[in-house]
């Protein structure tokens, strides 16, 4: 096993609000290895993005608070770094692509300016002309046509897909070793989504960066990810390689996610959603946070009283936080009637 690029250990993040303390991320542990793509999946408000924002020091404190945990990047705990060190890490070694390209670019500054700014922030003494040349090159790399003209335009002159390309160009400007894509396609049309996925692939090939893909789009995960972390209520509920997760999920929540996907097979009657609502992160249900919606729990006391730990499932590198995941042994997801890419 190679050395991980980033290992997050027992990360816990809280937000203080007027209604109480929001436990956004609770004891999350995972590794990202060089060159791989790790998909983090979960519903809105399951704490997917917050763990990454915490690593980058982008959580506003207050109201946010990193209660405990470490994030070791190349042997050093990011949480212990000084503000200056963390700043140099951001956009340099670790870059992030955000969800909504319509609001993530500064409307009053030219795209080229925002791009070269990222280059010059991490490379002292790069002349404006040089930065411009690199900027135009990056825009070409991510597939912005007429890059030379586009460079001098304002974000409002770009379409959503073009803006997201510009955002990706900005993120890979300094050849990061870790690229974090936070729902990179959520705000885009389906056709544009496919193009952006391609751009992300190119970007990854170009920089050899490890990629963390935060999304609730299982299709995107199947397409891009090597390993998957499933989150629910601020905790990791299942972790494994993408093929195992999609074919033999061992957590009832993951099973629910798979079941709720529309299939291409004939004879399917409607969608099968997971019943109920995602829990409030202020007052999580006691015991297993998923038990009120769980198809496996059946009112068993243990689900209501004891928080399940992540346990081995018997498959290598596949763990699940369900007291009774053995009961899912043998479950085959309908998705794998045709092999997953």
Closer CB to another protein, 187 or 199, in the complex: 187
d(CA 55, CA 37): 17
**Residue 104 is a binding residue for another protein (CB under 8 A):** yes
**Residue 103 is a binding residue for another protein (CB under 8 A):** yes
DSSP state of 268: -
Closer CB to another protein, 106 or 305, in the complex: 106
Shortest Å distance, C-beta 102 to another protein: 9
Give buried/exposed letters for 218-247 (b at 16+ CB in 10 A, else e): bebbbbbbbbbbbbbbbbbbbbbbbbbbbb
**Residue 58 is a binding residue for another protein (CB under 8 A):** yes
Compute how many other C-beta atoms are within 10 angstroms of the C-beta atom of residue 26.
22
**Residue 22 is a binding residue for another protein (CB under 8 A):** no
**Binding positions for another protein, 138-197, rule CB under 8 A:** 154, 156, 167, 170
**Residue 88 is a binding residue for another protein (CB under 8 A):** yes
Shortest Å distance, C-beta 129 to another protein: 20
Shortest Å distance, C-beta 60 to another protein: 8
Q: Which residue stretch of 55-63, 204-212, 241-249, 278-286 sits at the interface with another protein (rule: CB under 8 A)?
A: 55-63
User: What are the residues facing 64 on neighbouring strands?
Assistant: 15
**Residue 118 is a binding residue for another protein (CB under 8 A):** yes
**Residue 125 is a binding residue for another protein (CB under 8 A):** no
Name the token pair of 46. Answer: 């399951």
Kindly determine how many residues on this chain lie close enough to bind another protein according to the rule CB under 8 A: 30
Measured CA distances, 27 to 12, 38, 119, 310 (Å)? 5, 18, 35, 11
**Residue 242 is a binding residue for another protein (CB under 8 A):** no
Measured CA distances, 281 to 39, 40, 294, 308 (Å)? 22, 18, 17, 17
d(CA 258, CA 272): 9
Helices H, strands E: what count in the chain? 12, 12
In the block, tokens 């990454």 appear at 52
Q: Which residue stretch of 28-36, 52-60, 239-247, 254-262 sits at the interface with another protein (rule: CB under 8 A)?
A: 52-60
Q: Which residues bind another protein (CB under 8 A)?
A: 56, 58, 60, 83, 87-92, 95-96, 98, 100, 103-109, 114, 117-118, 121-122, 154, 156, 167, 170
């Amino acid at each position: 096993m190679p050395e991980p690029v980033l290992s997050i250990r027992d990360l816990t993040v809280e937000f203080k609000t007027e209604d109480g303390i929001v436990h956004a991320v609770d004891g999350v542990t995972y590794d990202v290895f060089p060159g791989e793509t790790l998909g983090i999946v979960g519903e809105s408000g399951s704490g997917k993005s917050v763990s990454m924002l915490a690593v980058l020091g982008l959580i506003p404190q207050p109201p946010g608070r990193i209660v405990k945990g470490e994030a070791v990047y190349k042997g050093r705990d990011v949480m212990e770094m000084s503000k200056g060190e963390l700043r140099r890490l951001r956009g340099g070694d670790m870059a992030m692509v955000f969800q909504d390209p319509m609001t993530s670019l500064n409307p009053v500054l030219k795209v080229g300016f925002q791009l070269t700014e990222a280059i010059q922030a991490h490379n002292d003494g790069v002349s404006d002309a040089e930065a411009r040349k690199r900027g135009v090159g990056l825009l070409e790399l991510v597939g912005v046509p007429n890059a030379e003209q586009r460079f001098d335009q304002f974000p409002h002159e770009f379409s959503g897909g073009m803006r997201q390309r510009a955002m990706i160009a900005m993120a890979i400007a300094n050849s990061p070793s870790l690229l974090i894509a936070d729902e990179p396609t959520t705000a885009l049309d389906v056709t544009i989504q496919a193009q952006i996925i391609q751009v992300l692939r190119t970007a990854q090939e170009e920089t050899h960066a490890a990629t963390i893909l935060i999304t609730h789009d299982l299709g995107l995960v199947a397409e891009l990810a090597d390993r998957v972390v499933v989150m629910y209520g601020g905790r990791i509920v299942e972790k494994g390689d993408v093929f195992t997760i999609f074919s033999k999920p061992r957590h009832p929540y993951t099973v629910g996610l798979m079941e709720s996907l529309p299939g291409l097979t004939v004879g399917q009657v409607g969608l099968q959603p997971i019943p109920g609502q995602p829990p409030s992160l202020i007052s999580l249900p006691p015991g297993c946070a998923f038990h009120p919606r769980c198809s496996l729990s059946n009112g068993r006391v243990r689900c209501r009283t004891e928080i399940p730990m992540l346990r081995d499932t018997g498959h290598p590198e596949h763990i699940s936080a369900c007291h009774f995941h053995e009961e899912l042994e043998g479950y085959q997801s309908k998705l794998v009637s045709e092999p997953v890419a």
